[in-house]
Amino acid sequence: MADGSLRKIGRFCLIFCKQKKNRTEGGCVCTATKIGRRGSGGGRERGFSTTTATTEEKRSPQQQHSQGNDNKKSSNINLFTAINQALQIALDTDPRAYVFGEDVSFGGVFRCTTGLADQFGKNRVFNTPLCEQGIVGFGIGLAAMIVNEAAKFRYRSGNQFNCGGLTIRAPYGAVGHGGHYHSQSPEAFFCHVPGIKVVVPRSPQQAKGLLLSCIRDPNPVVFFEPKWLYRLAVEEVPENDYMLPLSQAEVIREGADITLVGWGAQLAIMEQACVDAEKDGISCELIDLKTLIPWDKDTVVASVRKTGRLLISHEAPITGGFGAEISASIVERCFLRLEAPVTRVCGLDTPFPLVFEPFYLPTKNKILDAIKSTVNY
């Protein structure tokens, strides 16, 4: 069944929180992992650039629905530490939250669960046997998987039951040397499943707030964490409990000539392309989609109405990638406004290769070339 291929995609983590207000609700964060990769760091640096500064300036009032970042303490931390903080807060604020999965107990192969077992005890933070379907099934009370069970739980029961407290964390994306199974971006598979939400953070500060929102959201959520950023992305992250809204895209760089849409680690690459394009007099607007389903069409539509051009970029293979959905939706809504075809700069339609990784990925220059040809259409 479909699950067989989906579950082999990589490690994932579930978080389980039984929220008191809804006794039928449960959420679980568990971690399922395969071969963990914390490589020697070979491969190019994926610097995390100016997104942070831009974010803070551009954040709209709605986004500060995180309780006052203003005078709270913050620290300079990386992605896995930010995620660790979010999990710690979730466990701390909800006594019926659990974190379980593969190798969670000693801290996790990406270090996201460090210290949690010691702090919250073995009953709440624990290893499971090596079986992803078992982990998800355990988490939603059925011997089941994300597509056929978690997504349909509420719907098929006429809302008598739901597994809304379920959050599944999964590392994804290129990491420089992951090859077929440790570089994949499988988000498109999950975006095709009504009933679950798919969220992808671009940075540590975003990850913490989004993860807490996912955990507390009353729907099953799949949270993809860009592997590349676990150690390499470092920024100031507030130490307090805060949440960032789901299904709200964010304009992280304002521009007038072309709209770029992306998510996760790819945004850093896209931003570099925007900076280079600016030198050639092209003003780019960059949007972080954050939640892939249900996605914030309005923000993208408003931007394309302004610029008349759209470029989407993702690491996942181009055919059937989520960019195709965005493109189709925007063409439907903005056809007469568009000055050029919507363009997509994505991974190739092959299994993710090891030595050919630099050729496979949607690089800054591929994006820059596409920006120029779109603007000059």
Partner 1 sequence: MAFWLSKSRSISSLLGKRIGLLTILHERNKGSFLHSRRDAVFRYKNSPEFSTKSATFSATGRRFKSSKTGEQVELPSSDEDDDENQAVDFPGGRVAFTSRMNFTSESSGKRIPCFRVLDDNGYPIAGSIFEQVNKEIAVRMYSGMVTLQIMDTILYETQRQGRISFYLTSTGEEAINLASAAALSPDDVVLPQYREPGVLLWRGFTLQEFANQCFGNEADYGKGRQMPIHYGSQKHNYFTVSSPIATQLPQAAGVAYSLKMDKKDACVVTYMGDGGTSEGDFHAALNFAAVTEVPVIFICRNNGWAISTPITEQFRSDGVVVRGQAYGIRSIRVDGNDALAVYNSVRTARQTAINEQRPILIEALTYRVGHHSTSDDSTKYRAVDEIEHWKTAQNPVARFRKWVQGNGWWTDEYESEFRSNIRKQLMEAIQLAARKEKPPIANLFTDVYEENAPNLVEQERSLGETIKKHPQDYPSDVPL
Residue with tokens 């046997």: 129
Q: Exactly one of 2, 20, 22, 35 binds partner 1 (CB under 8 A); which one? A: 35
Q: Does 179 bind partner 1 (CB under 8 A)?
A: yes
The b/e string for 346-362 (b: 16+ C-beta within 10 A; e otherwise) is bbeeeebeeeebeebbb
Segment interacting with partner 1, rule: CB under 8 A, options 91-99, 207-215, 271-279, 363-371: 363-371
Decide if residue 131 touches partner 1 (CB under 8 A). Answer: yes
Nearer Cβ to partner 1, position 8 or 20? 8
Residue pair 169/223 in contact (Cβ under 8 Å)? The answer is yes
Residue 335 as a binder of partner 1 (CB under 8 A): the answer is: no
Q: Name beta bridge partners: 223.
A: 169, 199
* Residue found under tokens 């779109």: 374
DSSP 34-75: SS-------S------THHHHHHHH--GGGGGSS--TTS-EE
Q: Does 231 contact partner 1 by CB under 8 A? A: no
Task: CB nearer to partner 1: give 46 or 197.
Answer: 46
| Tokens 């929220």 belong to residue | 19
Determine the residue type at 59: R
Report the residue number, 123 or 160, with the smaller CB distance to partner 1. 123
* Single-letter code of the amino acid located at 307: T
Considering only 107, 141, 218, 245, the residue that binds partner 1 (CB under 8 A) is 107
8 A C-beta contact, residue 150 and residue 166 = yes
Residues in the interface with partner 1 (CB under 8 A) total 50
Task: Please choose, from the candidates 202, 179, 191, 230, the residue with its C-alpha nearest in 3D space to the C-alpha of residue 13.
Answer: 230
Separation between Cα atoms, residue 36 and residue 50, nearest integer Å: 29
Residues paired with 97 in a beta bridge: 17
CB nearer to partner 1: give 33 or 247.
Answer: 33
Query: Among residues 231 and 333, whose Cβ is nearest to partner 1?
Result: 231
Count the neighbouring beta carbons within 10 Å of the beta carbon of residue 21.
Answer: 6
The length of the chain is 377
Tell whether residue 319 is a contact of partner 1 (CB under 8 A): yes
Burial class (CB in 10 A: 0-12, 13-18, 19+), 263: buried
Q: How far is the CB of 38 from partner 1 (least distance, A)?
A: 5
Minimum separation from the CB atom of position 357 to partner 1 (A): 9
Q: Which is nearer to partner 1, 31 or 219 (CB)?
A: 31
The interface region with partner 1, picked from 64-72, 105-113, 207-215, 236-244 by CB under 8 A, is 105-113
Q: Which stretch binds partner 1 (CB under 8 A): 131-139, 231-239, 248-256, 287-295?
A: 131-139
Question: Does 376 help bind partner 1 (rule: CB under 8 A)?
Answer: no
* Element of type H or E holding 359: helix 357-360
332 is catalytic: no
Which range in 21-29, 127-135, 164-172, 246-254 contacts partner 1 by CB under 8 A? 127-135
Does the footprint of partner 1 cover residue 94 (CB under 8 A)? no
* DSSP β-bridge partners for residue 237: 75
Closest CA to 60 of 320, 254, 234, 281: 254
Question: Among residues 336 and 355, whose Cβ is nearest to partner 1?
Answer: 355
Q: What is the DSSP letter of 32?
A: B
Indicate whether 93 belongs to the interface with partner 1 (CB under 8 A). no
276 makes contact with partner 1 (CB under 8 A) = no
**180: annotated active-site residue:** no
Q: Which of 280, 365, 373, 377 is in the footprint of partner 1 by CB under 8 A?
A: 365
Of 182, 202, 309, 314, the one binding partner 1 by CB under 8 A = 182
Q: Which two tokens stand for residue 70?
A: 């203003």
Q: Which two tokens stand for residue 213?
A: 């929102």
Interface ranges with partner 1 (CB under 8 A): 8, 33-40, 42-43, 102-103, 105-107, 109, 126-131, 133-134, 176-182, 318-319, 348-351, 353-356, 358-360, 363-366, 369
Cite the active site residues.
132, 182
